[in-house]
Amino acid sequence: MVNIAIIGVGTVGCSVANILKENKELIQARAGKEIRVVKGVVRDISKKRDVEIPLTTDIDEVLNDDSIDIVVELMGGVDEPFKVVKLALEKKKAVVTANKALLAYHRYDLQEIAGDIPIGYEASVAGGIPIINALKVGLSANEITSIRGIMNGTSNYMLTKMINDGVKYDDILKEAQELGYAEADPTFDVGGFDAAHKLLILASIAYGIDAKPEDILIEGIQNINQDDISFAGEFGYSIKLLGIAKKINSNIELRVHPVLIKQTQMIAKIDGVMNGISVIGDKVGETLYYGPGAGGDATASAVVSDIIEIVRAGKSSPMLGFKKPFKSENLVLQNKENIQSQYYFRMSVEDVSGVLASIAKTLGDNNISVDTFLQKVIENSSIATLQFSTHECKEIDVKKAISQIEKFDFVKDGVSMIRIEA
Ligand code: NAP
Ligand code: HSE
């Protein structure tokens, strides 16, 4: 018999308890032992929840109980779960977590503290898709050339509804929250931070690189509007929030931002709450992983798989997949300004002569060459919306051009920019 406690019995925690109950016999056969949830920890014990396990508000009841073998951390946050997980590991309890924010900041600390004590975190990236296992085990023979994918279900759900049904941003965010997809603070989803946390976890397994969210380029979907969506449609693009990790010689480029991506590409076809991640290995070539990226049961499926593996094997492989420090070459994080891409710009301007010439000159002065251009005059006003796409150019030049264009008096409300992913 293996005893587990679930710290945080919310969307995912309830699903974990219920899967362990509903699939009990199957899970016992796979794990080789009976798995029993002996305690759940919550903040508000009076809240009604669809679960039949003993609840407490006192985390110490779990940490000080020697009969508990595995602590499942599903409370969210960074500092408090770090304290809790650290204490659990110090008490020699195995840990399973779905908490990517915690891992984005403390994965190397936890690896150090854990030593040989298992830590499972399959659910932390892409919900139900076993992408951690794929990188740690299935692709471990390969040097990873790139990882590129949709890693946030909430924003993909929102973009899909905005593009396909013209639904308003605020309405669809509310719906994603009601469906249990969004983080407690949904700015993590729409601002790209949640996808960045996941990208950093994958990059550590792929490259052994210890970057923090503040070290990488992160942009969200908050500024995307129906003008961008119709421009994208007109030129055969979809809009997706992507996490991108690329190895370029000894540089590792890590970035999260919305992209215009050709509708014919596989990733462009991944809609709704689904996530999709392409991993290219030097020996295997491209592999693609697709599945539900958020939601109680899908995420709990990955949490329970970690529990089963810990019970079955009694140990785990090294947390981030490396048994020895990875020193075969000096990989460094690529400077954000060295990114090269094609770009799309949108801006509202006064519809007067000379405006276009000034903008074109600024772009040209900054080595930016225009590919396509669209102008729409807003009915009964003197304002026009200008939309450009560019040939490949440097991020540093784009940033300079935008700041110069935004200084023109005829430009209203700044310049919106989306990168175009080839
Ligand atoms: P949730 O529904 O907000 O549940 C959080 C639970 O933790 C609640 O039961 C809450 O108690 C409890 N809790 C929070 N702080 C606590 C504290 N200080 N002491 C005791 N209990 C505390 O969140 P969730 O959606 O299940 O997400 C849980 C974790 O999984 C997060 O790290 C999230 O990022 C991750 N995750 C979620 C999904 C998803 O689709 N939802 C997918 C992948 C990963 P009360 O109920 O009493 O408030
Ligand atoms: N809020 C996250 C998402 C949950 O929407 O992808 C899954 O990690």
Average pLDDT over the chain, rounded to an integer: 95
> Do 283 and 399 sit in the same domain of this protein?
no
How many domains is the chain partitioned into structurally?
3
Catalytic option among 39, 93, 198, 240: 198
> Do 103 and 194 sit in the same domain of this protein?
no
* Nearest atom within ligand 2 for CA of residue 124: 8
> Do 192 and 206 sit in the same domain of this protein?
yes
DSSP state of 413: E
> Do 148 and 13 sit in the same domain of this protein?
no
CA 154 to CA 193: how far, in whole Å?
Answer: 12
pLDDT of residue 323: 85
CB 138, CB 280: distance < 8 Å = no
What average pLDDT does this structure show over 113-139? 97
pLDDT digits (tens, 9 = 90+) for 239-273: 999 999 999 988 999 999 999 999 999 999 999 99
Minimum mean pLDDT range among 99-113, 270-284, 356-370, 376-390: 376-390
CA 411 to CA 269: how far, in whole Å?
Answer: 35
Q: Is residue 321 part of a domain?
A: no
Ligand 1 centre to CA of 84 (Å) is: 14
The fraction of the chain above a pLDDT of 90, given in percent, is 92
**Spatial CA neighbour of 180 closest among 12, 74, 295, 47:** 295
| Residue ID of nearest Cα to ligand 2 atom 7 | 294
pLDDT of residue 39: 98
SS3 300: helix
> Do 81 and 142 sit in the same domain of this protein?
no
Identify the nearest ligand to the CA of 179 by its number: 1
Instruction: Could you list the beta-strand ranges (E) of 142-188.
Output: 144-150
pLDDT of residue 189: 98
* Nearest atom within ligand 2 for CA of residue 195: 6
The fraction of the chain above a pLDDT of 70, given in percent, is 99
Residue of 75, 125, 187 to mutate, ligand 1, most atoms within 8 A of C-beta: 75
CB 7, CB 38: distance < 8 Å = no
Query: Amino acid letter at 233?
Result: G
> Do 18 and 122 sit in the same domain of this protein?
yes
Question: Over 60: is that where the pLDDT of 9 sits?
Answer: yes
For residue 370, the enclosing domain spans 336-421
Q: Is residue 387 part of a domain?
A: yes
pLDDT digits (tens, 9 = 90+) for 63-115: 999 999 999 999 999 999 999 999 999 999 999 999 999 999 999 999 999 99
* 127 alpha-carbon distance from chain centroid: 10
CB 12, CB 42: distance < 8 Å = no
Catalytic status, residue 198: yes
Q: Is residue 320 part of a domain?
A: no
Ligand 1 centre to CA of 75 (Å) is: 4
Tokens for 367, please give them: 């080595």
* Nearest atom within ligand 2 for CA of residue 183: 1
* Nearest atom within ligand 1 for CA of residue 153: 40
Q: What's the burial of 66, exposed, middle or buried (CB within 10 Å: 0-12/13-18/19+)?
A: exposed
Instruction: Give CB contacts under 8 A, 24+ apart, made by 40-46.
Output: 40/5, 40/6, 40/7, 40/9, 40/13, 41/5, 41/6, 41/7, 41/8, 41/9, 41/75, 42/8, 42/9, 42/10
Q: What's the burial of 402, exposed, middle or buried (CB within 10 Å: 0-12/13-18/19+)?
A: buried
248: domain CATH number? 3.30.360.10
Q: Is residue 322 part of a domain?
A: no
Residue of 47, 59, 122, 299 to mutate, ligand 1, most atoms within 8 A of C-beta: 299
Ligand 1 centre to CA of 76 (Å) is: 5
CA 312 to CA 256: how far, in whole Å?
Answer: 36
pLDDT digits (tens, 9 = 90+) for 181-201: 999 999 999 999 999 999 999
Last residue of a domain, one of 313, 346, 376: 313
Identify the nearest ligand to the CA of 300 by its number: 1
Q: What's the pTM value of the predicted model, to 2 decimals?
A: 0.96
Q: Is residue 121 part of a domain?
A: yes
Q: Is residue 233 part of a domain?
A: yes
Tokens for 336, please give them: 């954000």
Q: Which residues pair with 421 in a beta bridge?
A: 261
pLDDT of residue 379: 85
CB 224, CB 344: distance < 8 Å = no
> Do 148 and 90 sit in the same domain of this protein?
no
> Do 146 and 288 sit in the same domain of this protein?
yes
Q: Is residue 70 part of a domain?
A: yes
> Do 305 and 385 sit in the same domain of this protein?
no
What average pLDDT does this structure show over 31-58? 97
305: domain CATH number? 3.40.50.720
Ligand 1 centre to CA of 11 (Å) is: 7
CB 9, CB 17: distance < 8 Å = yes
Question: Over 60: is that where the pLDDT of 327 sits?
Answer: no
Ligand 1 centre to CA of 219 (Å) is: 24
What average pLDDT does this structure show over 148-166? 97
| Residue ID of nearest Cα to ligand 2 atom 1 | 182
Instruction: Could you list the beta-strand ranges (E) of 319-410.
Output: 332-333, 340-350, 370-377, 383-390, 393-394
Question: Over 70: is that where the pLDDT of 328 sits?
Answer: no
> Do 140 and 255 sit in the same domain of this protein?
yes
Residue of 194, 242, 273, 301 to mutate, ligand 2, most atoms within 8 A of C-beta: 194
Ligand 2-lining residues (CB < 6 angstroms)? 127, 152-154, 181-183, 189, 194, 293-294
CA dist 226 to 36, 346, 381, 416, Å? 50, 11, 19, 13
CA 307 to CA 72: how far, in whole Å?
Answer: 9
pLDDT of residue 91: 97
Residue of 156, 189, 201 to mutate, ligand 2, most atoms within 8 A of C-beta: 189
> Do 142 and 286 sit in the same domain of this protein?
yes
CA 85 to CA 236: how far, in whole Å?
Answer: 47
> Do 75 and 149 sit in the same domain of this protein?
no
Ligand 2 centre to CA of 355 (Å) is: 42
Ligand 1-lining residues (CB < 6 angstroms)? 8-13, 41-44, 47, 74-76, 80, 98-100, 123, 127, 180-181, 183-184, 294-295, 299
- Cα angle vertex 206, ends 202, 208, to 5°? 100
Instruction: Indicate the pLDDT class of residue 329, thresholds 50, 70 and 90.
Output: low
Instruction: Indicate the pLDDT class of residue 337, thresholds 50, 70 and 90.
Output: confident
377: domain CATH number? 3.30.70.260
Ligand 2 centre to CA of 150 (Å) is: 11
Instruction: Indicate the pLDDT class of residue 324, thresholds 50, 70 and 90.
Output: confident
Q: Is residue 344 part of a domain?
A: yes
